[in-house]
Amino acid sequence: MRISSLSSSVYFTLTYLFFYIPIILLIVYSFNNTQYSLLWHGFTWRWYVELFSDSDLWISTWHSFFLGIAAATIATWIGLLAAVCLYRYRFFGRNFLNGLVFILILSPEIVMGASLLILFTLVHLPLGFMSLLLAHISFCIPFVIVTIYSRLVSFDKNIFEAAKDLGAGDWLIFLRILVPLLWPALFAGWLLSFTLSLDDVIISYFVAGPEFQILPLQIYSMVRSGIKPEINALCSVLFCLTFILVLMSQLALRKKV
Amino acid sequence: MKYSEFKNVSLSIVWFWLFIFALLPFCLVIAASFMAHSDTHLMQMPFTFSNYLKLNNPIYIRIFEKSLFIAGSVTIICLLLGYPFAYIIARSQSRWKNLFILLVIIPFWTSSLIRSYALIAIIKAKGVLNSILLAIGLIQFPLPILFTNSAVMLGLVYNLLPFMILPIMTNVERLDNRLVDAARDLGANRFTTFRKIIIPLTMPGIIAGSILVFLPAMTLFYIPDILGGAKSILLGNLIQNQFIISENWPMGATFNTALTFLLATLLLIYVFATRSHKRREWL
């Protein structure tokens, strides 16, 4: 028993090291005062200073944040309505909707990216902010539905019966009971959508236009041209930002109703 | 009347959105796969099967085979690495359990592009891994890892492992311990219990995890692009090329349709394997 628990701890630790060593090294190198060498040449803020003085990058960052906030907000509302309907009502096509959500999460992003490109071209929607926004909302919705639904199933159904007995209509139940109770899940779903939107390369690659540069695509083109300390700095900033967002969402979900 | 009003409004919004941005584009891809390509128009009308006949091209077949091989190997590696890990976490009694789970969820949230990029510093010729191996004298010359298929597979495993761990973990957590105890009481040894009780009961998680690893492994085109160099073309790169570079949309749509068929087949297997189980909450 000893040996097996020892070996499982070792295995456990190695896997976490596998997950985190590359990221930790990336962050360490972003402070290394040298362009190419692996060796430590002293601590520097140089790459961060260069990063923050790059005006193109600021524009894409602003674009990505704006896009992420807009997409996450709309996706959260639509996802909320869908999750509430799936939870409370029987309706025609309910199983179909359930299955569709499931399929959309499993299906490869490339299929969605290419199919939206065909749709937007067909209706002559110029590729740019609008096409990105519609695409990002669409791929976030299923994740929001899953997040909110898994919260809903933990609720006591008697709450709704009590509200109905006391004369509350559906709008009132939705606004005064469901939304306040679901606040943590809404927050978590919003944050998940925001980070999905901020990180998405594949779908954006298909539906982005030249006028509206966004961060993930810019990182992609920078990364293709090789390792540079500024990219290390940029990736470290983004990684830390997502890390904080995950922690926030997990804390929000942890509190019991 | 208020009752149905809320329901109708919400359902209309939800259906409207999913119809326009999920179902319709999906049908458009299938339609596009039957159209012809020309230099002046992206797609042309006369319906044709020619794109599907072109799939029988040795170059495409080789890319398909290679994608299937790499994605299959990556799925198996993730399963072998991920299953024990998921099992240990799910069975853990530690008060740090939530932290352990969080540490698996974080990679799921963070950009896989950034995480793939982070690997370059480790596996490049003068990278961390080679320096360590040279320093301890295990190798005489730096290993060429970056820009090979091994680098692509490493990148895929690194990025997709959490997608294997999370569904399996959910399944192991729901595993009824009494069944395991009963099997042991009835004389089954550890191995038999594992093979006959634990594996079948966690099969939905295994299949869901495998789908979540297998399909992205073929289609995450930026990983072969930045880690594999020019020779590593997988199905995802092929589709990306057809749509963006050679602008042959009907052919790209054909590959996409083929991919969707593969997804449908895998889903059928999943549905078949989970008929008796609840299938939500796998994330």
ipTM (interface pTM): 0.88
The amino acid occupying position A41 is H
Residue numbers of A between 238 and 257 with CB closer than 8 Å to B: 238-239, 242-243, 245-247, 250, 254
Residue of B11, B19, B77 to mutate, interface with A, max A Cβ within 10 Å? B11
Q: Domain count for chain A, please give it.
A: 1
| Residue A198 contacts B where some CB pair is shorter than 8 Å | yes
B contacts of A243 (beta carbons < 8 Å): 106, 110
To the nearest whole percent, how much of chain A has pLDDT over 90? Answer: 50
| Boundaries of domain holding A69 | 56-254
Q: From chain A, pick out residues whose CB is under 8 angstroms from the CB of B84.
A: 8, 11
Specify if A66 maps to a domain.
yes
Gap from B85 CA to chain A (nearest CA, Å): 6
Identify the CATH number of the domain in which residue A180 sits.
1.10.3720.10
pTM of the entire predicted model:
0.89
Judged by a CB distance cut-off of 8 A, whether residue A195 touches chain B is yes
Chain B residues within an 8 Å CB radius of A227 = 117, 120-121, 124
**Which of A8, A102, A250 lies closest to B102 in CB terms?**
A250
pLDDT in tens, A149-164: 988 988 888 888 888 8
Six-digit token string for A166: 């006391």
Note the Cα B158 to chain centre separation in Å. Answer: 12
* Token duo for residue B81: 């690495």
DSSP bridge partners of A43: A32
Give the Cα separation of B224 and B234 in Å (integer). 7
For the cut 60, the answer to whether the pLDDT of residue A2 exceeds it is no
Structure tokens, A226? 């090789």
Q: Is residue A83 part of a domain?
A: yes
Question: Per-residue pLDDT for A9 more than 50?
Answer: yes
Nearest one of B54, B55, B78 to B259, comparing CA atoms: B55
Taking contacts as CB-CB distances below 8 angstroms, the residues of chain B near A195 are 109-110
Could you count the other beta carbons within 10 Å of the beta carbon of residue A1?
5
A158 located within any domain: yes
pLDDT score, position A117: 94
A100-132 pLDDT tens trace: 998 898 889 999 999 999 999 999 999 999 999
pLDDT tens for chain B, 283 residues long, are: 445 688 899 999 999 999 999 999 999 999 999 988 876 666 777 778 888 888 888 989 999 999 999 999 999 999 999 999 999 898 888 888 888 888 888 888 888 898 898 898 888 877 888 888 888 888 888 888 888 888 999 999 999 999 999 999 999 988 888 888 888 888 888 888 888 888 888 888 999 999 999 999 999 999 999 898 767 789 999 999 899 888 888 999 999 999 989 888 988 888 887 765 554 444 3
* Model pLDDT for residues A193-247, shown as the tens digit of each residue: 999 999 999 999 999 988 899 999 999 988 887 767 888 898 899 989 988 998 8
Total Cβ atoms within 10 A of residue B9 = 13
Give the torsion sign (CA, A27, A30, A34, A35): positive
Please list the alpha-helical segments (H only) found in chain B: 2-18, 24-32, 50-54, 58-91, 97-109, 112-123, 128-135, 149-174, 177-185, 190-193, 199-201, 203-219, 222-223, 235-240, 249-273
Indicate the burial class of A66 (C-beta count within 10 angstroms; 0-12, 13-18, 19 or more).
middle
DSSP letters spanning B19-30: IIIIIHHHHHHH
In a domain, A48, yes or no: no
pLDDT at A1 over 80: no
Whether the CB of A67 is below 8 Å from some CB of chain B: the reply is: no
Which domains, and CATH codes, for chain B?
58-273 (1.10.3720.10)
User: At B273, phi and psi to the nearest 5?
Assistant: -75, -20
Residue A38 in domain: no
CA closest to A121 among chain B residues: B42
